[in-house]
Amino acid sequence: MDINITFPGGKRVNAEYGEITIETDQSLKNGGRGAAPEPYMYFLSSIGTCAGIYVLSFCQNRGIPTEGLSLVQHNEFTTGDSGKSRLSKVTVEILIPDSFPEKYRDALIKVADKCAVKKSIIEPPEFEIITVSPGC
């Protein structure tokens, strides 16, 4: 699967695959217009939304109403020896309404834990960055 990265102007960088375009921009303080989320926000959001689709599918497959059901992702950062901040812990809370069936509460945690984004972080892929001249 290929994703094409384009530069539509300013500090915007887009990711395009198929008919979908994911737009990014930098915040005002980072020289952008703040017209779209910064790339790192998409990364962070992908963790919670990935867990969320598993939770949503679990409920839909069992006919469990999702009104009052939501997830909150808490991101903790640590400053390393170099002075740079890094993501050190992610906690995903599944907020369930009182009416949520007791027998499915533990299963909901197990299902959210199947998130493919989380698995990709735990077992990271190999990265390679190269330059290529398309005219060759």
Q: Tell me, what's the pLDDT at 58?
A: 98
Expressed in percent and rounded to 5, the helix, strand and coil fractions of the chain are 35, 30, 40
> Mean pLDDT in the chain?
96
* Residue 31 included in any domain: yes
Q: Tell me, what's the pLDDT at 64?
A: 97
Q: Tell me, what's the pLDDT at 134?
A: 82
Q: pLDDT per residue over 90-120, tens digit each?
A: 999 999 999 999 999 999 999 999 999 999 9
Same domain, 28 and 52: no
* Residue 107 included in any domain: yes
Same domain, 56 and 89: yes
Tell me the CATH number at 81.
3.30.300.20
* Residue 6 included in any domain: yes
Q: Tell me, what's the pLDDT at 79?
A: 94
Cβ(51)–Cβ(25) under 8 Å? no
Same domain, 54 and 70: yes
Cβ(53)–Cβ(45) under 8 Å? no
Q: pLDDT per residue over 40-52, tens digit each?
A: 999 999 999 999 9
User: Containing domain of residue 67, as a range?
Assistant: 39-122
Cα separation, 110 vs 92, whole angstroms: 12
* Residue 97 included in any domain: yes
Q: Tell me, what's the pLDDT at 81?
A: 87
Q: Tell me, what's the pLDDT at 128?
A: 96
Same domain, 33 and 64: no
User: Across-strand partners of 91?
Assistant: 74
Structural domain count, the chain: 2
